[in-house]
Amino acid sequence: MIRTNNISFSYTEYGKDEDLAPGDLELVLAAREIALNAYAPYSNFRVGAAIRLKSGIIIKGANVENAAFPSGICAERSALSNSVSNHPDDIPVEIAVAAMTDEGITAGFVSPCGSCRQVIAEEETRIGKPIRILLSGRNNTIVLDSISSLLPLQFNKTQLKSNLP
């Protein structure tokens, strides 16, 4: 059998901060605020992630770099480690990501790196629900329903068992 398959996804784009719903803007502002706490002396690229848990609590994280470059951690994983560690049963509903350089908030939105996509995907698997993703820049913010859009055909626990008869 030979078949060509197609994967597509939809996302909503908001042009200005004022176009966002108040709750979305609140989460984006939390991500921008925590980006100021980033330790990013090597890249000068400060990233912030804000996760809203089901209870309403907002957990924030920033990127923390290291002279041994691979030892650094991204904002998304920083925030997720915090939420899973401290609130294991209060599940993430949505995560906002924003970044800034020395010139201020990036013009375009910032997209999570591959490792962060994989970690957010694992969290969706752990909680059994999609996590809404808000990627924000000065000129636009995009909103996606799940990390699956950014990580199609993902590796997850089901494949660990895929060789069983």
Q: Which residues are catalytically annotated?
A: 76
CA 2 to the chain's CA centroid? 35
Q: Least distance to ligand THU from the beta carbon of 47, Å?
A: 3
Q: Least distance to ligand THU from the beta carbon of 165, Å?
A: 40
Q: Least distance to ligand THU from the beta carbon of 58, Å?
A: 18
If the CB atoms of residues 20 and 80 are measured against ligand THU, the closer one turns out to be: 80
Interface with ligand THU (CB under 6 A) = 40, 43, 45, 47, 63, 65, 72, 74-76, 97, 110, 112-113, 116
If the CB atoms of residues 140 and 159 are measured against ligand THU, the closer one turns out to be: 140
**54 dihedral zone (left: phi>0; alpha: psi -120 to 50; beta):** alpha
The answer to whether the beta carbons of residues 32 and 38 sit under 8 Å apart is no
If the CB atoms of residues 65 and 124 are measured against ligand THU, the closer one turns out to be: 65
Q: How far is CA 79 from CA 43, 143, 153, in A?
A: 19, 18, 25
DSSP classification of residue 42: T
If the CB atoms of residues 20 and 47 are measured against ligand THU, the closer one turns out to be: 47
Q: Least distance to ligand THU from the beta carbon of 96, Å?
A: 12
Q: How far apart are CA 147 and CA 57, in angstroms?
A: 21
Helix (H, G, I), strand (E, B) or coil at 95: strand
